Amino acid sequence: MIRFGLVGVVNTGTYYLLYLLFNMFLPYLAAHVCAFLLAMVGSYFLNCFFTFRTRPTLKKFLLFPLSNATNFAVTSIGLYVLVGVFHVNHVIAPLLAAAVAIPITFVIAKLVLVGPEREAAPPATSSQPSR
């Protein structure tokens, strides 16, 4: 979970810098979509190599965006509600929306990249004879 958090910080920073860059010439929701898509590619590789220590494959790469669909929905709806309804500054709102989506994204990314958790291994048997 800590490694996921570190990757999340890097990914959020990447997303946010891209969002600010794209927001110079795109409306805020379009900037959000472009930044999100580019940051997601980086997130895939960081999560494969650093968080879950699994080999990246084309299949996982193609499934990874599905794991982020919930994240995208939560952040998009959150961004719209924060800016459009509560009039939160559009520069701050993406960070607040991203914070809500983190735990959801972890669970889904883990399922996509490493699969469901395996059952606990049976206890090791002692090699010493019983008395």
Residue 120 has pLDDT above 60, yes or no: no
Residue 72 lies in a domain: yes
Report residue 52 CA to chain centroid gap: 13
Residue 14 lies in a domain: yes
Convert the pLDDT of each residue in 3-17 to its tens digit.
888 998 898 899 999
Residue 124 lies in a domain: no
pTM reported for the whole predicted model: 0.65
Convert the pLDDT of each residue in 52-108 to its tens digit.
999 999 999 998 887 778 888 989 999 999 999 999 999 999 989 988 888 888 888
Return the HEC string of 54-88.
CCCCHHHHHHHHHHCHHHHHHHHHHHHHHHHHCCC
How far are the Cα atoms of 21, 39, 69, 93 from residue 104, in angstroms, in the given order? 27, 17, 10, 18
Residue 99 lies in a domain: yes
Say what the pLDDT of residue 123 is: 47
What is the four-CA torsion angle of 21, 89, 71, 47, rounded to 10 degrees? 50
d(CA 127, CA 125): 6
- Could you tell me the two tokens for 99? 């914070």
Where in the sequence is the domain holding 102, given as residue range(s)?
A: 2-114
Total count of domains within the chain? 1
Residue 62 lies in a domain: yes
Residue 131 lies in a domain: no
Say what the pLDDT of residue 70 is: 82
Say what the pLDDT of residue 76 is: 92
Residue 130 has pLDDT above 80, yes or no: no
pLDDT category at 117 given cuts 50, 70, 90 is low
Pairwise pLDDT comparison (123 vs 45), residue with the higher score: 45
